[in-house]
Amino acid sequence: MTKPMYIAAVLTALAIPHGASGETLWVTGTDKVGAYDVQTGREVASFDLPGRTADLHVLPNGHVVLNYRAKAELVLFDTTSRKEVARLPSSRMGGVNPHHGYLLKTSGSLLYVVGNDGENAASDSTLSLFRVVSNAPGLEYAGEIRLGAGHHKIAHFPGEDWISVSNINDCGNVIQVIDITNPAAPKTIRSIGAKDIGYDGTGPDKTCDASGKAGRRLTPHGAGATGQFHVHNLNATGQMVVVRRDGRVLVLQSAGTGGASAVATKDGKLYMTQFSPRNGSGTSPGKACQIGQLLAISSAGTEFEQIPVLKDKDCTEKPSGARLGYVSMMPDGETLLLPLATLGSDADPVALLARVKVGASGLAQLSSLEIGKNLGHRDHAWTTDGKLFAFPNNKDDSVSIVGTAEGKVVKTISVVPAPLRVALSKP
C-alpha cells in the first residue's frame, strides 16, 4: 500500500435475452441523434443536430437529455413518443460548451447538473443546476455558479449536499468544493489551488502552469466519490487529490499518469483508471502487454494499490496503442468493465472490452471480450436491470450490446455515423 502526503484543509460542510423488449437505444454521432429498438435493431427516430454534442442521459421522468455543445443547449426527447420536446439554454450566465452532465440525488432534490466548459476561460465556464420535474419538459432551471477554467469533472455521493468539481486548466482553482443544499443559490465553500496541494512555486517541478511552459500542467481529469471521500485524478502528475468528509485534503502519488474515470464498490473502495505504466512507454514502462493500471483506493481514502491491466488476459505482445479509458461495474458488484480506448487519432482502432474481477473472491483479470472498433474514449450505458450494456464503435458505425450473464456480445446494431454517446431507456 502507498501512503499519502497530508495537507491541511477545511470544509464548511440475436434475440436479446433478459426481457429487454421495450428498451430504446439512443445514440449521438456526426451531426445526428438516432433512436433504435433494442429488440429488433430497427431505427425508430432520427434527429439532425449539426455540430458538437456530448453527454446523453435518461431521466427518471420519461425524458432523455442531450448536452448540445454547438448551441449551448440541452435538448430533451420523450422516451415514449421518441420525439424532441424542448430545448433549454445550458446557462443563464454566459456559460458555453456544455460537456458533461450528472444526475445527482441530494438530501432534498433530484438534479441534473451541467458543466459548461467554456472556451478555455473562466469567464464563460459555469455549473448549471436543473431540477428534474414531472411536468414538461422534464427539467427546470434552478441556479448556477462560475467555475475555474477548462473542462470539468464532478464528484458526488448520493444523498450529499456538496460536490467537488475539477477545473482542468486552472492553477488557482484546481478543485472547487460547492454547497448545493439550495440549488437556486450554489456557493463555493473552498477552492483548492495548486499551492494547497504542494505546488509552491519554488522551482519548475513545484510550479503549476496551465500551458506547461513555465511549470507543470496538473490537468485534473477523472473523479469519483464514496461515502467517505471524493477523489480527483491529476493526469499530468499521477497524483490523486482526496477530499475527505472530515475536512482533510490528501495527495496520493502513484507511479502512473493519465486517466478518465472512477467507480466505487460496495465495500467503499474506489477504482480509478490510469493510462500508464504501459508496455513500450519510454517514461513509464510496464510489464508485457500492459495498457495502464487501476488504482484501488482504500475505503478510508488514505492509501492505495496499483493493479496492472493487460490488453487481454495472458497477453504477451506489445499493446499497439490501446489504453484504458472509462470504467463501470457489472451488476454482480465485483467485475469491472473497461472498454479500451486508444492513445491518439493515429492509433489503430481497438475492439476489446477488458474485464477485471475485484470482489471478495480475489483479484483477477478475465479474458477480454471482442466488440466493435473504436478510436478515442468509448462511452457505455446499461439497461435498467443492469443485464445489458451498450458500447459505441465509432469506426464501425455500430453499437455492441453485451449480455452480462452471457459474457459476450449478443447483438450489434448499425447506427448513426461515428457514434459517440449512448443511453438506454424504457417508455
Which residue is listed with cell 426481457? 19
pLDDT of residue 320: 79
- 246 by Cβ neighbours in 10 Å (0-12 / 13-18 / 19+) ranks as exposed
Q: For 107-133, how does the pLDDT look when each residue is reduced to its tens digit (9 = 90+)?
A: 999 999 999 999 867 789 999 999 999
CA distances from 84 to 44, 54, 288 (A): 13, 17, 49
Q: Structural domain tally of the chain?
A: 1
Q: For 278-292, how does the pLDDT look when each residue is reduced to its tens digit (9 = 90+)?
A: 998 888 999 999 999
| Low-confidence winner among 69-73, 96-100, 405-409 (lowest mean pLDDT) | 405-409
CATH number, position 350: 2.130.10.10
Annotate 347-361 with three-state secondary structure: CCCEEEEEEEECCCC
pLDDT of residue 281: 87
Q: For 383-403, how does the pLDDT look when each residue is reduced to its tens digit (9 = 90+)?
A: 888 889 999 999 999 999 999
Q: For 300-340, how does the pLDDT look when each residue is reduced to its tens digit (9 = 90+)?
A: 999 999 999 999 999 998 887 889 999 999 888 899 999 99
Mean pLDDT across 166-175: 97
**Confidence band (pLDDT; 50, 70, 90) for 36?**
very high
Q: For residues 89 and 95, give the distance between their C-alpha atoms in angstroms, rounded to a whole number.
A: 9
Return the sign of the alpha-carbon dihedral for residues 35, 369, 256, 249. positive
Return the sign of the alpha-carbon dihedral for residues 316, 345, 224, 59. negative
**Confidence band (pLDDT; 50, 70, 90) for 345?**
low
Q: For 51-93, how does the pLDDT look when each residue is reduced to its tens digit (9 = 90+)?
A: 999 999 999 999 999 999 999 999 999 999 999 999 999 999 9
Say which residue, 137 or 14, is predicted with more confidence: 137
Domain carrying residue 13 = 5-425
Q: For residues 35 and 424, give the distance between their C-alpha atoms in angstroms, rounded to a whole number.
A: 9
pLDDT of residue 360: 75
Sheet holding 110-116, edge to edge: 98-105, 110-116, 126-132, 139-146
| Low-confidence winner among 265-269, 346-350, 399-403 (lowest mean pLDDT) | 346-350
List phi, psi (to 5°) of 123: -65, -25
Nearest alpha-carbon partner for 340 in 363, 294, 371, 313: 371
Mean pLDDT across 201-212: 95
Q: How far apart are the first and last CA of the chain?
A: 47
Q: For residues 371 and 183, give the distance between their C-alpha atoms in angstroms, rounded to a whole number.
A: 41
